[in-house]
Structure 1
Amino acid sequence: MTTRMFEHVIALIDEANSEDPNCEEFAGKNWPKERLYSERMTQMLNRFNVDADPLMHIAVRAQHIKRWCSPRSDFPMDKQGYHQWRSALYVFHAKTVVELMQQVGCSEVDQQRVYEAVAKKQIKRNPDSQLVEDIASLVFIEHYMWAFAQTKPDYDEQKWIGILQRTWQKMSIEAHEFVLGGHVILPQPLVPLIEKALSGK
């Protein structure tokens, strides 16, 4: 993949995410929600893995591409429906970014690699999929966990410990070390719960 092709794909991803009708204010600016998310994903990747190649930058940038087009409400509002929605999202995001790569003329090999990473194929065995999962988890912890907590006032301590432990289990050893090494800004109100969840007590 040439530098020009890479930059073109990134620009197309940003253009797509800029269409998000949902907005979030950050640093005095009103951002399309998924456009801001994609920026945070790239920033975290640069902090976590400075050697990540262009295809992984594309995969990470496209983690939530056009997510608003597949809302949670399209699926049953139960646990099974939630998992169906998540599985459908992986495929939707992967197909969407591959279509952009096709427009630019990326090779089928490159398209397949990005597809598998964004679709979360064989996490724990595919290092590309694991990297995308790590970055998504780190971004959630630093930027979205506290906001999510505020929308769930009915969750008790055990519920939160379960959520935190499941997030931790999805991450690689390297991501664990990144968090424990103080490289992620933890939501201060949740630090006691995070510590308790990670202690296994």
Structure 2
Amino acid sequence: MKFNQAITLIDQANKKDPNIEEYNGVAYPKEYIYGVRMSERLEVFLPNAPESLRLAARCQHICRWEIPRNAYPMDRVGYLTWRNDLKKLHAKKASEILSSVGYNQDLIDEVQMMLLKKQLKKNELTQAIEDVICLVFLEFYFDNFIGKHKEDKIIDIVQKTWVKMSEKGHDAALALSFSEIGLAMVQKALA
């Protein structure tokens, strides 16, 4: 089946990530575990998600380490340029893999549209992947973020994250199990 072949190739690419993340005592390549988390969270958020969305979720950070943040100026313009270049990389890598297993161009274009974040708030697939990205951040990466930043930056990021999400995304976020400090930061940001 094309879907399983594509997931295998995406995972193989992401298992090459030299950055390691430990989770429940097991070391994983960072972007591989991120892709798995995206797929798992999508399954909970939208169990009947179309195939294109399921593929886009798994490709969300494909080969992200190939464009390191420190290759750009450490300012807002540098950050935004880096993020834009990453989106293009993810869309290109996804296209190559999906094409190699025989997906048609319409599906590939749909996956690329989601990875490039086109029509956010207007296209339900792009919105769904954005919701899942935000949920994965809040569930798995938020506490680490809290530990590295000052309260005003944390509140700003939560507020910016919230604006990107749909009402369904908000409901799912509020149902997550936050740490005590995480919940306090979310509550302050939404007050």
Task: Report the TM-score range of the alignment, normalised by the length of the smaller protein.
Answer: over 0.9
CA distance, structure 2, for counterparts of residue 186 and residue 46 of structure 1: 20
SS in 2 for 1:30: strand
Deviation at 1:151, TM superposition (A): 2.1
Give 1:188's match in structure 2, choosing from 176, 180, 184: 180
**Residues 32-111 of structure 1 aligned to structure 2 (within 5 Å):** 32-111=29-108
**Residues 4-23 of structure 1 aligned to structure 2 (within 5 Å):** 4-23=1-20
SS in 1 for 2:28: strand
Give 2:152's match in structure 1, choosing from 153, 158, 161: 158
Q: RMSD of the TM alignment (CA)?
A: 1.0
Deviation at 1:179, TM superposition (A): 2.1
CA distance, structure 2, for counterparts of residue 111 and residue 192 of structure 1: 41
Assess, with a 3 A threshold, how the Cα gap between structure 1 residues 42 and 178 changes in structure 2: closer, same or farther.
same
CA distance, structure 2, for counterparts of residue 53 and residue 126 of structure 1: 14
**Paired residue type of 1:171:** M
Alignment-derived partner of residue 162 in structure 2: 168
Contact 1:64 1:93 in 2 (8 A): yes
CA distance, structure 2, for counterparts of residue 185 and residue 60 of structure 1: 22
Higher deviation after alignment, 184-193 or 84-93: 184-193
Contact 1:19 1:32 in 2 (8 A): yes
CA distance, structure 2, for counterparts of residue 185 and residue 140 of structure 1: 13
Deviation at 1:73, TM superposition (A): 1.1
Q: TM-score, structure 1 length as denominator?
A: 0.92
Alignment-derived partner of residue 127 in structure 1: 124
Alignment-derived partner of residue 189 in structure 2: 197
CA distance, structure 2, for counterparts of residue 75 and residue 187 of structure 1: 33
SS in 1 for 2:17: coil
Alignment-derived partner of residue 113 in structure 1: 110
**Paired residue type of 2:138:** I
Q: TM-score, structure 2 length as denominator?
A: 0.96
Percentage identity across paired residues of the two chains:
39
Alignment-derived partner of residue 147 in structure 1: 144
4+ runs deviating over 3 angstroms:
none
CA distance, structure 2, for counterparts of residue 70 and residue 158 of structure 1: 28
How many residues were matched structurally? 191
- Encode CA deviations 1:111-159: one digit per residue, 9 max, x unaligned: 100000111111111111111111010000010011122122xx2x332
CA distance, structure 1, for counterparts of residue 22 and residue 184 of structure 2: 28
CA distance, structure 2, for counterparts of residue 129 and residue 91 of structure 1: 15
Contact 1:141 1:187 in 2 (8 A): no
CA distance, structure 1, for counterparts of residue 23 and residue 67 of structure 2: 24
Q: Structure 1 stretches of 5 or more lacking a match? A: none
CA distance, structure 2, for counterparts of residue 81 and residue 22 of structure 1: 22
